[in-house]
Amino acid sequence: MIAPAIDNIIKQQTKNDHFAGVVMIANGDETLHAAAYGEVLPGSGVLHQLGSVWRWASVTKMLAGFITLQEVERGRLNLDQPVAQLLPAAPSHVGGVTLRQLMNHTSGLANPDQTALNTETGVHHWASAAEPDFKYCYGPALAAPGERFDYNACDFVVLADVLKAVTGSNFAELIDHRISKTYQLPSIRVVTNASDDAEVAGTRDGKPIQDGLRLANLSADAAIIGKPADLLKLTQLYMAGSIITDTNLRQEFGRGTPELGYIALTVWGYHAQLNGCSTPVHIIERRGHLPGTKVLTLQAPELGRSMVLFSNRDETDWGWIWQQTGFSFNIASEVFCR
């Protein structure tokens, strides 16, 4: 199904080839819009397809959040318990961090994005190394727990270790059992093999990106791949209470902290004044970005509507809804207000 008004907004973004990919929108069980736009590689004549498998990048964190909250709901985890209770062998500076601080990036842990770039590939060594170096995340801290917000892959590497300690399953197994099989979303999986990757390659300046990045090195930070349709279904299942049944816990998941830039628990949550809505709309937002691939998910829980957008153009600019301008603001206004 293609909604004309939404289609017009998206096509405005494709004119300069700064967007190409897939946009899907749902209201409850109904798909309002599902369409692919543009060529996979500029000038190739090969068009994007709805059923292609993409990198989900940092949307992976949201799924790690779902599984963590399931453990909280079952009473096996508490958001404010320190890591030391679950990983007794962890260094003291790691052990003092709480699960909440891991999920909202206030842990103060070592940050691999501060390591040197691989000059040949243009990505950090930790992301392109032949083997994952997850021990790095247990190295010297950058700040005291809770001191400041620092967007950090190590938060989710450690969170994956916590989940394994509690459940006995690694992150890939948890996604397979708790998400893919439970909700019949077969395309969703965690990449664990160094040579594995998604179907859709990223592009920059009209050319495919050859960066040497290995998704297997990214764990619960950014290693999931899957189809856009399965991500759309997942957001709708979450809002319907199928993944987390406790209403208060779902509210906490999407309740942003203003002093931390409205970060919530693996997502951003805020109330936005959109064009066409008489009152602000509560939005849960999650973005993902790996070289040449950009992902955006927007959920409006009170409306039961969500959307997922995938682009394999590094030039894609979603804009910022709070600034009331740009691609994301325009499409959110159309979907959530009209």
Q: Hey, what amino acid is at 61?
A: K
pLDDT one-digit tens code per residue, 241-266: 999 999 999 999 999 999 999 999 99
Contact 50, 19 (CB under 8 A): no
Which pTM value belongs to this model?
Answer: 0.97
At 192-203, the pLDDT tens digits run: 999 999 999 999
Q: Report the Cα–Cα distance between both ends of the chain, in Å, rounded.
A: 17
Nearest to 113 by CA among 75, 61, 153: 153
Between CA 18 and CA 22 the distance in angstroms is 13
- Enumerate domains of the chain plus CATH numbers: 4-337 (3.40.710.10)
Residue 120 has pLDDT above 80, yes or no: no
Going by pLDDT thresholds of 50, 70 and 90, the confidence category of residue 16 is: confident
